[in-house]
Amino acid sequence: MLFEYIQKALKKAENKLLDNGTWFAEIPGFEGVWANAQTVEECRIELQEVLEEWLVLKIRDRDPIPEVEGAEIRIKEAAAV
């Protein structure tokens, strides 16, 4: 589930070669999820890491997480023991 969600989100990424020769990438609808690196592949890897960290924070804080192409992450309340 999580792997599928991340892969679908990464497919929405927009990459741009900057004037300084580095690559910039972001995912529309995922505020604060962006990366900048020397190569497009390094940028993609960094973007995935940022997305994973962003998701951990969203889950921890119980913030809404956008649906991506039918994939969604829902937080269920654990039953008290």
- Say if residues 54 and 30 touch (Cβ distance below 8 Å): yes
What domains are defined for the chain? 2-61 (3.30.160.250)
Task: Give the CA radius of gyration of the chain.
Answer: 14
Given strand 14-17, what is the order of strands in its sheet? 14-17, 23-26, 34-37
Instruction: State pLDDT tens for residues 20-77.
Output: 999 999 999 999 999 999 999 999 999 999 999 999 999 999 999 999 999 988 877 7
pLDDT at 80: 63
